[in-house]
Structure 1
Amino acid sequence: MICLSEDNLRGLVHVVDDDVTLADGLSNQLKSSGFDVQNHRSPAAFVQARREAEACCLLLSIEFPTANGLDFQEILPAVGIHLPVILMTQHPDINWSIRGMKAGAVDFLLKPLHEAEVLSSVRTALQKDRERHAEDARRRKADAKLARLTARERQVMGHVVRGLMNKQIAGVLGLSEITVKLHRGSMMRKMAVRNVPDLVRAVEFSGASVLAH
């Protein structure tokens, strides 16, 4: 685990560039600012040797002898890599910039790089990755709560989320209203929510399908 600085800015930065001089200089700058850095000479090398950390980002060059950084950026989600990407290039091509941003790039930096711009972009990217990890943790927690529900409780929850009242749910499921209340109470306790709006948010956040049948 990476130790964070007081202002919560540190993290692991993956630098992917075949320009050894530039990559080493960039690495030294980032390390002097308290970041952990791992250099990779190609996208393939990054995939093979990358380390994980509490917060990571990717400083990715576009130009490689046998690869294109934009192509690599676009396939990252498909191979299970969801790190924030900062693109670097020697050529101020507006089409490249648009393509990179549409693919979710945090920033598009022109070489020669300026230290202040790099540090600002890296801090933004690392914060985005921390937020992603926090969201993933909340989703896992919500999914764990859903997993505790019985099949009947999930049915009741589906109808509650749709806005049905206990009497209506009882009619749909062929249960007594008292039985519905019992299932509903148990479901709300397991989901750790106090009201329907909180339940709806929890279900939406988890991304689970709770449509009642």
Structure 2
Amino acid sequence: MTRLHLNPERHLVSRIGWLRAAVLGANDGIVSTASLIIGVAAAAAKPADILVAGVAGLVAGAMSMAAGEYVSVSSQSDTERADLARERGELADNVEAEVHELAGIYVKRGVDPATADTVARQLMAKDALAAHAHDELGISEMTTARPIQAALTSAATFTAGAALPLAIVIIAPGGWLVVIEAIASLLFLALLGGVGARAGGAPVWTATLRVTFWGALAMAATAGIGLMVGTAV
């Protein structure tokens, strides 16, 4: 008798939660901190002032990212819990109607009515709420909101990203700081874009060019503002 050996598949969508927060945090850390440093340096500030501004930007940015991500994902989590509570009440009130509703979803996906009804009843016999959460509400283990995980990931990756341009302030010569900071930060962004795209299965060059372009635009804008402020003062 031939036995089938089924290998579990690993889908990239399972990474979407932490990957989004990680890439967003690191990208913001590099762009915002590098832009801040370049803007302050362009205003002819002293090296010590530039370093203080960079550190302050790192701390403030990490806290802002953590708080913003926590609030945003918590709102999603609240919505999920409210939908599940409503679904739990509907299941308690009229199970048969919920069976027909779930079967109707499968029919719309191409399953014949008799099979759809059988599948709906079997899934609901095992875990009715889980069946409706997955197929009616679109809530699954892979996509469910995790506020604390998202907040910590964003804060940690923002800090890691911001530390890179901040290190340039320490090692770069004062007269070349703006140029070296800009080039190094764009390289950091290109690397981040490539790594993030690779991990998510997306086109590497597209992601790399995208993050590099917007990073360069942000740095150019703050450099221009720094020059204007420095000249005016």
TM-score, length of structure 1 as denominator length: 0.28
- Structure number with greater CO (CA < 8 Å, separation at least 6) is 2
Structure number with the higher helix fraction is: 2
TM-score, length of structure 2 as denominator length: 0.26
